[in-house]
Amino acid sequence: MRIHEELVLLFSVLKWVILSVLIGCLTGLAASGFIRFIHYVIEQSNHYQYVFYWLPLSFFVANLLSQFVLK
């Protein structure tokens, strides 16, 4: 009877270890993919540096549109 309980406990511990390793691998894969995506976006944004100079003007035009045209 005692061997049976120890065997059940061993399989329970192994089950949770395997599940935690799988969840850790999936989390690491998702984090790695997200970091690669961030690097890709930063790389692409470096090609269009002049776009950021137009942001204040675009905000001003959007404000004018929302106040006077889209009432």
Query: 18-65 pLDDT, tens per residue?
Result: 999 999 999 999 999 999 999 999 998 888 878 888 889 999 999 999
DSSP string for 42-65? HHHHGGGGGGGGGHHHHHHHHHHI
Q: For the whole model, what pTM was predicted?
A: 0.60
Give SS3 for 39: helix
Q: What is the mean pLDDT of residues 9-20?
A: 96
Q: Which two tokens stand for residue 58?
A: 């675009």
How far, in Å, CA of 41 to CA of 61, rounded?
A: 26
pLDDT of residue 49: 78
